[in-house]
């Protein structure tokens, strides 16, 4: 079955560092967040995902970018559209509420050396960190 996956992601910055997460069994990092459920608003989905992953209820800020990409995983073609929101919170413990996830803050200067997927989103985020301007990347 062919589906387009809608993903909401949080861009959480703290003292020139960005919060990244990864599946413990994988090598690559990505932004916190997850899939939009049918009938759920984008912002409510992001609040739900961040609460499930980190146990937080942050303030969802502006949409800073959109990234669309198609990729293959395990022989299957995926089409994904990511909506990235700037997110603020007062306190954050890096304790994952999901056993499969691990979180780390990475210095923005070292972000280019991190194995981050999707690659187009990494490129767009690098642009955003430098220019502080909205981005849209498509395949």
Q: What global pTM score does this model have?
A: 0.91
For residue 31 the two structure tokens come to: 């932004």
Which of the four pLDDT bands, split at 50, 70 and 90, describes residue 101? very high
CATH code of the domain containing 118: 3.90.79.10
* pLDDT over threshold 70, residue 90: yes
List pLDDT tens digits, range 56-87: 889 999 999 999 988 888 888 889 999 999 99
For residue 122, what pLDDT is reported?
94
For residue 139, what pLDDT is reported?
52
Question: Which residues span the domain enclosing 105?
Answer: 4-137
Please tell me the total count of domains within the chain: 1
Mean pLDDT of 32-39: 95
């Amino acid at each position: 079955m062919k589906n387009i996956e809608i993903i909401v992601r949080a861009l959480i910055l703290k003292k020139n560092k960005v919060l990244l997460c990864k599946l413990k069994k994988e090598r690559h990092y990505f932004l916190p967040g997850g899939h939009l459920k049918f009938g759920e608003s984008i912002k409510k989905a992001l609040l739900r995902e961040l609460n499930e992953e980190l146990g937080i209820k942050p303030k969802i800020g502006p949409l800073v970018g959109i990234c669309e990409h198609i990729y293959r995983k395990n022989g299957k073609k995926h089409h994904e559209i990511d909506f990235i929101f700037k997110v603020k919170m007062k306190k954050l413990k890096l304790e994952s509420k999901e056993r499969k996830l691990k979180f780390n803050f990475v210095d923005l200067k070292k972000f280019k050396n991190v194995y981050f997927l999707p690659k187009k989103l990494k490129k767009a985020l690098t642009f955003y960190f430098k220019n502080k301007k909205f981005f849209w990347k498509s395949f």
